Structures are given as structure tokens and as C-alpha cells.
Amino acid sequence: MVPAVKKQIDVARLQLDLRAAKVELLSAQCAADRVRLHYSAQDIVSHGEPETLKRALASVQALHRFFTQIESMIREAEENARNGRR
């Protein structure tokens, strides 16, 4: 069994990592919004480097899968809390 002190350190690290990831994700969203607001999707497809676009899409898809899983678990936890379950 993991000592309680170790668990607190892990939780603190997790919270720091989540805060840092939030900032990085916001930065990525801003960068994508800048591109989206300046260029049409057709211009991006026509003139963008295909490999760059494919890698960006792969990253977005991986993030979508990860956060969809997190969202589902949050909803389940909230429903359990409403129903008095843990």
C-alpha cells in the first residue's frame, strides 16, 4: 500500500501538471483560432503542408479521445454523488 504522505505528493504534482497543461492547451487553442480566423479551411488544405496538417489532426484526435474519457468519468462521478454512491 502506498503511504498517505506519498499520495499527497502525487496529488500536488497532478494538480500542478493539470494547471500547466491548461495553460499549454489554451495557448494551442489561441494559435488554432488565429489560423482559423485568418484563413479558410479550403486555403489551409490547399496551401498547408500535408504532413503538418496530418500531425496536427492526430494530436487533436488524441486529445479529444483523452478528454472525452475524462468528461465521461466526471459525469459518472457527478451522477454517483447525486445518487449517494461513491
**86 and 52: one domain?**
yes
- The answer to whether residues 10 and 30 belong to one domain is yes
Residues 3 and 26 in one domain: yes
Residue 10 corresponds to which amino acid? D
Domain check: are 52 and 28 in the same one?
Answer: no
Please indicate, yes or no, whether residues 3 and 31 belong to a single structural domain of this protein: yes
Residues 84 and 55 reside in one and the same domain: yes
Distance (Å, rounded) from C-alpha 42 to C-alpha 38? 12
Q: Is the separation of the CB atoms in 35 and 44 below 8 Å?
A: yes
The reply to whether 43 falls in a domain is: no
78 within domain boundaries: yes
Domain residues for 15? 1-38
Closest C-alpha to 28, from 78, 72, 64, 2: 64
What does pTM read for this prediction?
0.77
Whether 84 shows a pLDDT value over 60: the answer reads yes
pLDDT in tens, 5-55: 556 668 999 999 999 999 999 999 999 999 999 999 999 999 999 999 999
pLDDT band at 56 (very low <50, low <70, confident <90, very high): very high
